Amino acid sequence: MKLYVMRHGEAEPPQAGRGLPGADALRPLTGRGRRETEVATEWLKSKSATFDMAIVSPYVRTQETFAIVREHIPVEVTEISEQVTPEQDAEAFASELMARLQLEPAQTVLIVSHMPFVCYLISYLDRCMQPPLFPTSGIAVVEAEPLAMCGKVIEFYREAGDCLTD
């Protein structure tokens, strides 16, 4: 099965109220972030015509990123999950996801999340990789083996931010 791990598009910088509880979760995408997500979505669409499941962080920037993807690619089941927010335990999430996919098989799963979660998730799934840096709207494609509880990164999309200007 294929697991697509996507970082949200470029978001507004933290404001003075960043120290307030929940302020980081409210940061929206910038115009550039929306454009780079559109470009990344076109690439994603060339790889998968549909997703069996999407697991998305509840933060505003990931919700906006996912909304752009969903406009172009059908998603059968969508879950909003606190488990894929920036400071969560990627190893615990990966273990739970692989166990779940043994019982509920899927061909294509999309995860829309944040740094550093996405880099640790990839490093845990593909133990031969150091945690990779994800640009905004970056996507790693993992050939996942739920029974083996691991996977292999087979492709990495990083171009969206490089081809756009404000």
What structural domains does the chain harbor? 2-9+24-144+152-163 (3.40.50.1240)
- Give the global pTM: 0.92
Question: Is residue 49 within 8 Å of 73, Cβ to Cβ?
Answer: yes
Dig out the tokens for 74 from the structure: 């059908």
Q: Strand 108-113's sheet: what is its strand order?
A: 75-80, 51-56, 108-113, 2-7, 139-145, 150-157
pLDDT, one tens digit for every residue, the chain (166 residues): 999 999 999 999 987 555 566 788 999 999 999 999 999 999 999 999 999 999 999 999 999 999 999 999 999 999 999 999 999 999 999 999 999 999 999 999 999 999 999 999 999 999 998 889 999 999 999 999 999 999 999 999 997 544 433 3
The SS3 of residue 127 is coil
Nearest partner of 57 among 114, 105, 108, 18, judged by Cα: 114
